[in-house]
Structure 1
Amino acid sequence: MLNIYCNASGQRINHDKSSIFFSKGCPQERRVNIKNTLNVHNESLSDRYLGMPTDVGQSKMGTLKYLRDRVWEKVR
């Protein structure tokens, strides 16, 4: 699927910058298989992507508070 997208768009995947995140319930064997299939070996979750928190989780209040504070900072 990713190769089809790359061929159609002309974009390429930078495997050095790519990472993948799994939920805590994902079995190790499945993680290894997926990472090998996608050729993505960096398993991590960064705190932010394009300035927004990447992990919202169950409590959305922290994420929304962060966003509200940033908006108010710009408005003032």
Structure 2
Amino acid sequence: LLETYCKASGQRINHEKSSIFFSEGCPQVRRDEVKQILNVHNESLSERYLGMPTDVGQSKMGTFKYLRDRVWEKVR
């Protein structure tokens, strides 16, 4: 699927910058298999991506409170 996207869009995947995140319940054997297939070896989750939190969790109000506060500061 990624190869098809790259061919259609002309974009390329930078495997050096790419990373992947798995849920806690994912077995290590499956993680290794997926990383090998995708040729992505960095397994991590950064705190933010494009300024937004990457791990929202169940408390969405708490996660996005900073965003609401920033908007209200600009409105005032």
Short-chain TM bin: over 0.9
Counterpart CA distance in 2 for 1:47 and 1:64 is 13
- Alpha-carbon deviation of 1:48? 0.6
Deviation track 1:39-64 (CA, whole Å, cap 9, x = no partner) reads: 00000000111101110001112222
Structure 2 gap segments, 5+ residues each: none
Counterpart CA distance in 2 for 1:47 and 1:27 is 23
Alignment TM-score, normalising by the size of structure 2 = 0.92
Aligned residues: 76
Structure 1 gap segments, 5+ residues each: none
Deviation track 1:4-60 (CA, whole Å, cap 9, x = no partner) reads: 000000000001110000000000000000000000000000011110111000111
Alignment TM-score, normalising by the size of structure 1 = 0.92
Partner of residue 15, structure 1: 15
Partner of residue 29, structure 2: 29
Report the identity percentage: 82
More strand by share: 2
Flag as ranges the 4+ runs of structure 1 deviating above 4 A: none
